Amino acid sequence: MTSPKASRSDGDVPVPLTGLRIVDMGQVLATPFATYLLGLLGAEVIKIEPIEGEWFRQMGTGLAFATQNAGKRSIAINMRAPKATETVLSLIDSADVFVQGFAPGTAEPMGLGWDEVSARNPNIIYGSLSAFGQTGPFGGRLGFDHVVQAMSGIMPATGFEGQPPTKVGSPYLDYGGGLLLAFGLMAGLLERQRTGSGVHIDAAMLDVGLLLNASAMVRAANTGMDPVRTGNDAFSGAVASGAFETTDGLLMVAANKPAQFLRLAETLELEELENSPELALPRADPERVAAARALMVERFATRSAAEWEVALNAVGVPAARVRGLAEVTSEGHTQARGLLQEVADPCEQDPARTTQLPGLGVQINGVMPGPVSMPPMVGSDSRAVLEDFGFDTEDIAQLIRDGTVFAFDQPVSAETERI
């Protein structure tokens, strides 16, 4: 299936942030993902990078970098150069949003903290994202996704009883942090509209980890009880919900309601359960629940996960066989929704070659905004960005000569590398 190709010129692609300027000094995953999402909504995102490119660009695969940087403009600035901070501040002067993902306490000595930036641009929406935030007993600590997972309470609750604490496989706090920061920046824009003043948004990855487990967090805070490990059982604890072995792998089922339980029993041809809807209720007799579970386990093991998935969904019982990412992204649903969209890749030798990149994640009036271009080369927009932000030709030339700014077509000398 061919995925839709978005275009900013298409009248049906929502771009509510058109005209918004964002100066982005984030690197790796979380902060760049926040500005990527705002860029999908039409914002102009100026990515400030070191001359060698940010760390994730150097990882060796363009896909990893493109995931959260497509559609941005790149200006390369040597932050060790004497004029670097003033150059960044001059860009911020004409921006609506400034975002940084430095460790707490790093931006201030650079002259790029909230006080310095808001003094220059009182209308700025200033976004900072860090592992533990700017305040609190843990505020200022350094951390990465897996370190924050360790403090979020998710690891002891993940996996099976008797096994060591297990982290979530994906860097979900990084991407969740980007989502939360994007949400905060949007709130900041509305607050500025309400008050006429700039806003400081402080997002933390630990907050994300706790919010994504909000009900368990609330229960633990109020009762002192940690969540029990459920392995592959459902959060609901219902007898007919969770994982079942089939002839070719795991099937996840969610028959939480009595009506669903009855339809499940009928589909499984378990006549002894077809008149027992009460078994789906939380306080059902434990012995009868255990016996019912044993019957279901035996019956699920007789057919494939794919067969059961089709049969159960046909009668309104949610079920899905366990899939890998490569499989689920090849089935067409992500493309049809617009969650993955094709973008022309000018770096590929084949001019028709495209790369699939993430869309916004929500449809607006039936359309999911998506990226329209791959990330630029490091510093390929340096001259154009400076011109657009009001720098004159001589100022630009001087910044390039003294090693503050690097343009893609500007060779880097050994001397300027030492600045």
Query: Distance between CA 414 and CA 258 in Å, rounded?
Result: 73
Average of per-residue pLDDT values in the chain: 90
Q: Is residue 364 part of a domain?
A: yes
Q: Are residues 263 and 374 in the same domain?
A: no
Residue 145 in this model has a pLDDT that exceeds 50: yes
Query: Distance between CA 91 and CA 76 in Å, rounded?
Result: 13
Cα dist from 376 to 44, 323, 382, 397, whole Å: 14, 33, 11, 21
pLDDT of res. 109: 95
Q: How many CA atoms lie within 13 A of 74 on its CB side?
A: 27
Q: Is residue 127 part of a domain?
A: yes
Query: Distance between CA 75 and CA 169 in Å, rounded?
Result: 33
Q: What is the CATH number of the domain that holds 293?
A: 3.30.1540.10
Query: Distance between CA 261 and CA 239 in Å, rounded?
Result: 9
pLDDT of res. 415: 44
Q: Which two tokens stand for residue 71?
A: 């559609």
Cβ proximity of 313 and 321 under 8 Å = no
Residue 217 in this model has a pLDDT that exceeds 70: yes
Q: Are residues 147 and 204 in the same domain?
A: yes
Q: Are residues 132 and 258 in the same domain?
A: no
Q: Is residue 313 part of a domain?
A: yes
Question: pTM of this prediction?
Answer: 0.90
DSSP string for 8-21: TT-TTS--TTTT-E
The widest CA-to-CA distance across the chain, in whole angstroms, is 86
Determine the distance from the C-alpha atom of residue 107 to the mean position of all C-alpha atoms in its chain, rounded to a whole number: 24
Among candidate residues 299, 323, 347, the one where a domain is terminated: 323
Q: What is the CATH number of the domain that holds 131?
A: 3.40.50.10540
pLDDT digit string, tens, across residues 269-304: 999 898 888 888 888 888 999 999 999 999 999 999
Q: Are residues 317 and 344 in the same domain?
A: no
Query: Distance between CA 79 and CA 46 in Å, rounded?
Result: 16
- HEC string of 341-383? EEEECCCCCCCCCEEEEECCCCCECCECCCCCCCCCCCCCCHH
Q: Are residues 76 and 185 in the same domain?
A: yes
Interhelix angle 30-40/172-195, rounded to 10 degrees, is 50
pLDDT of res. 59: 75
> Mean pLDDT over residues 40-65, rounded?
88
pLDDT digit string, tens, across residues 93-114: 999 999 999 989 999 999 999 9
Q: Is residue 391 part of a domain?
A: yes
pLDDT of res. 349: 58
Determine which helix (DSSP H) or strand (DSSP E) holds 210, and give its type and residue range.
helix 205-211
DSSP string for 314-340: HTT--EEE---HHHHTTSSHHHHHTSE
Query: Distance between CA 268 and CA 239 in Å, rounded?
Result: 14
Angle at 142 between CA 141 and CA 143, to 5 degrees: 120
Query: Distance between CA 46 and CA 189 in Å, rounded?
Result: 18
Instruction: Supply the DSSP symbol for 121.
Output: -
Q: Is residue 228 part of a domain?
A: no
Cα dist from 84 to 125, 364, 400, whole Å: 21, 39, 11
Q: Are residues 191 and 268 in the same domain?
A: no
Query: Distance between CA 67 and CA 308 in Å, rounded?
Result: 35
Q: Is residue 177 part of a domain?
A: yes
Q: Are residues 306 and 165 in the same domain?
A: no
Instruction: Supply the DSSP symbol for 25.
Output: -
Q: What percent of the chain has pLDDT over 90?
A: 75
pLDDT of res. 8: 47
Cα dist from 176 to 106, 190, 335, 381, whole Å: 23, 21, 22, 29
Phi-psi region of 316 (alpha: psi -120 to 50; beta: other; left: phi over 0): left
Neighbours of 53 (CB within 10 A): 18
Determine the distance from the C-alpha atom of residue 13 to the mean position of all C-alpha atoms in its chain, rounded to a whole number: 21
Q: Which two tokens stand for residue 190?
A: 């509305």
pLDDT of res. 419: 37
Q: How many domains are there within the chain?
A: 2
Q: Which of the four pLDDT bands, split at 50, 70 and 90, describes residue 187?
A: very high
Residue 4 in this model has a pLDDT that exceeds 60: no
Query: Distance between CA 303 and CA 309 in Å, rounded?
Result: 10
Q: Are residues 163 and 286 in the same domain?
A: no
pLDDT of res. 230: 83
Q: What is the domain extent for residue 361?
A: 21-214+338-406
φ, ψ at 199 (rounded to 5°): -140, 140
Q: Are residues 287 and 353 in the same domain?
A: no
Residue 87 in this model has a pLDDT that exceeds 60: yes
Q: Are residues 93 and 194 in the same domain?
A: yes
Q: Are residues 176 and 72 in the same domain?
A: yes
Cβ proximity of 408 and 379 under 8 Å = yes
Among candidate residues 259, 290, 323, the one where a domain is terminated: 323
- CA dihedral 208→210→214→218, nearest 10 degrees, is -150
Q: Is residue 219 part of a domain?
A: no
Q: Which of the four pLDDT bands, split at 50, 70 and 90, describes residue 417?
A: very low
Q: Are residues 190 and 64 in the same domain?
A: yes
Query: Distance between CA 396 and CA 18 in Å, rounded?
Result: 26
Among candidate residues 323, 350, 381, the one where a domain is terminated: 323
Q: Is residue 14 part of a domain?
A: no
Q: How many residues does the chain have?
A: 419
